Structure 1
């Protein structure tokens, strides 16, 4: 499996509009973060987790020319706003796009993108095929790939991460229970959110993320959903153990 980090920033992105802090003014490309998303190349299957508002730019930058499925962690706009841009893949591939998410998330998509699901569709709207993730306690099949949901809380909102083989992806969380912690153990790679150093109502801090990773003991770990408040990429990485790295846009990882 090849994992490409399409975006590693928080909901406002980095740099943040109007901000002149040292991170937002940094010339290091690793400090320039689009909204959080990853691309998974699994054999000949091409999967994207979350299509935020930067989806089109991310697809072009990563040169993704084929997409087999879209998988959603939850319904917040920084994870769903780019859904309309799957039209390009509909046109190229001449097929509906399989979209996987919890029933609540799919209902939200149907509300926010009502024109996609209208009885009488406007020509050229995106074409999707919805696949509800009904349970969080057992794997589901995604195009022949076994995916284990990872339940977490984003403040009081239930969200999902996913484990595929030895790869675990969990973002937008500030609490995970014992069942999810068990699924994280002994993974090859864990991707986990670490928003900033200070306490936050709905995201893990840097210290909290490190504590979870030290318990899980993966071979490697990458931090994502990073805000400008965390600090410059170069400075933060110098504080971390060698097996934990900050992800950055465009990073590719083999699992």
Structure 2
């Protein structure tokens, strides 16, 4: 299984429009961040988690020519706004795209992309099959997935565990029962917005505390804001098994 970071930025991405801070002005490619998303390539499945506003560019850059399913963590626009670009896969694969999410998320998608769900559709609209998931295991083909319910301030968000890998974004609280589901994970991807505290995201210190509880072999932080600081500087401050992720980074799970 190969995990590819399509985007590692927060809702505004980096650089932020109109900002000339040292991070937004950085020439280091690791400081250029699209909105958060990952691609999961298993032996027989190609899955994307979240289709934010940058999805088209991300899919082209990563050369994702085949896509079997989309997992949506929650309904915020920085995780859903690019869903229309699924149309290309509809055309080449000659089938609807399965989109998995909790019921509240799917209902929001019906509103945001209402033209895709009308009785009489305009030719070329995205063809989507919405599939409700609850807080229990489900499968996409041969890939078994365990949802991890976390809280994004007052909004429930799904993280996902596949075998020894767990992805959690947009969280500022994980209950003990849900944390138990994550234990034993070899590679953990977790949101860490910035160094200052935030109302709806883990900051760096809080994310490190979660890593200390889970004790994975490797942890990668994502959903990063420009306020976090330069990638090079923050990376040098982290424990040996913890890293800031960056756009384009691949993780080969066969190495763990």
Q: TM-score range by the shorter chain?
A: over 0.9
Equivalence for 1:42: 42
Equivalence for 1:174: 172
Report SS of the residue matched to 1:248.
Answer: coil
Residue pairs, 1:89-104, within 5 angstroms: 89-104=89-104
| Structure 2 gap ranges (5+) | none
CA displacement at 1:26 relative to structure 2:
0.2
| Structure 1 gap ranges (5+) | none
2:238 and 2:128 mapped to 1: Cα distance?
A: 41
TM-score, structure 2 length as denominator? 0.98
Q: How many residues align?
A: 253
Conserved? CA contact 2:115–2:125, under 8 Å: yes
TM-score, structure 1 length as denominator? 0.98
2:9 and 2:183 mapped to 1: Cα distance?
A: 25
Equivalence for 1:5: 5
1:15 and 1:204 mapped to 2: Cα distance?
A: 21
Correspondence 1:55 to 2:55: yes
Residue pairs, 1:122-201, within 5 angstroms: 122-133=122-133, 135-136=134-135, 138-201=136-199
CA displacement at 1:183 relative to structure 2:
1.3
CA displacement at 1:143 relative to structure 2:
2.4
Conserved? CA contact 2:45–2:143, under 8 Å: no
CA displacement at 1:122 relative to structure 2:
0.2
Report SS of the residue matched to 1:214.
Answer: helix
The alignment yields a C-alpha RMSD, in angstroms, of 0.6
Report SS of the residue matched to 1:146.
Answer: strand
Report SS of the residue matched to 1:9.
Answer: coil
Report SS of the residue matched to 1:172.
Answer: coil
Conserved? CA contact 1:186–1:219, under 8 Å: no
1:105 and 1:223 mapped to 2: Cα distance?
A: 24
2:16 and 2:35 mapped to 1: Cα distance?
A: 11
Report SS of the residue matched to 2:98.
Answer: strand
